[in-house]
Amino acid sequence: MSKDTHLVTVKGAMPTANGCAVFLGDETKTFVIYVDHSVGNAIRMTLDGVKKERPLTHDLIGSMLLGLGAKLDHIVINDAREGTFYARILLHMENELGRKIVELDARPSDSIVLALQQKRPIYVATSVLEGTEDMTEILERVLRQQAEESGGEETP
């Protein structure tokens, strides 16, 4: 990618009273995006490698992309305004007619699920990363607490 973006990973997804807190970050900073329960559950299931009996919405989208010959290249969390994050999904399509890059507007939560399922990179714009509060210490504290509650086992 460019110097205007940073590669991030999902460092954790924890349920909250109103949904789920998804912690994203790189080696320098962690920030949080709050998502609804259903997408938070899809993120946690994907992170945990849970096999589903029937396809959920994100599984269906992935199957549709495959059927259409499109591949998710990467996602970018490209903006944040008034507590709302915005994202773009970049698809790569190649067939007998040629090569095409398709860029779609999407919710970061849905984008994250698709990127995790298809093992594709997640980027965040530098301006977004710089404009968010660093939640690294809070995430570490929550992970320590979870490890203690589960009998001292380390949480990834």
CATH code for the domain in which residue 136 is found: 3.10.690.10
What residues make up the domain containing 73?
Answer: 5-149
Q: What is the per-residue pLDDT across 109-146, written as a single tens digit (0 to 9) for each?
A: 999 999 999 999 999 999 999 999 999 999 999 888 88
Q: What is the per-residue pLDDT across 26-56, written as a single tens digit (0 to 9) for each?
A: 999 999 999 999 999 999 999 999 988 888 8
Question: How many Å apart are CA 131 and CA 25, to the nearest integer?
Answer: 13
Whether 154 is in a domain gets the answer no
Whether 155 is in a domain gets the answer no
Q: What is the per-residue pLDDT across 54-100, written as a single tens digit (0 to 9) for each?
A: 888 888 899 899 888 899 999 999 999 998 999 999 999 887 778 89
Whether 74 is in a domain gets the answer yes
Helix 37-48 to helix 57-68 angle (10° resolution) is 70
Statement: residue 154 has pLDDT above 90: no
Whether 156 is in a domain gets the answer no
Whether 34 is in a domain gets the answer yes
Number of domains in the chain: 1
Whether 98 is in a domain gets the answer yes
3-class secondary structure per residue, the chain:
CCCCEEEEEEEEEEEECCEEEEEEECCCCEEEEEECHHHHHHHHHHHHCCCCCCCCHHHHHHHHHHHHCEEEEEEEEEEEECCEEEEEEEEEEEECCEEEEEEEEECHHHHHHHHHHCCCCEEEEHHHHHCCCCCHHHHHHHHHHHHHHCCCCCCC
Q: What pLDDT was estimated at residue 2?
A: 62
Q: What pLDDT was estimated at residue 53?
A: 86
Whether 77 is in a domain gets the answer yes
Token reading at 5? 């973006």
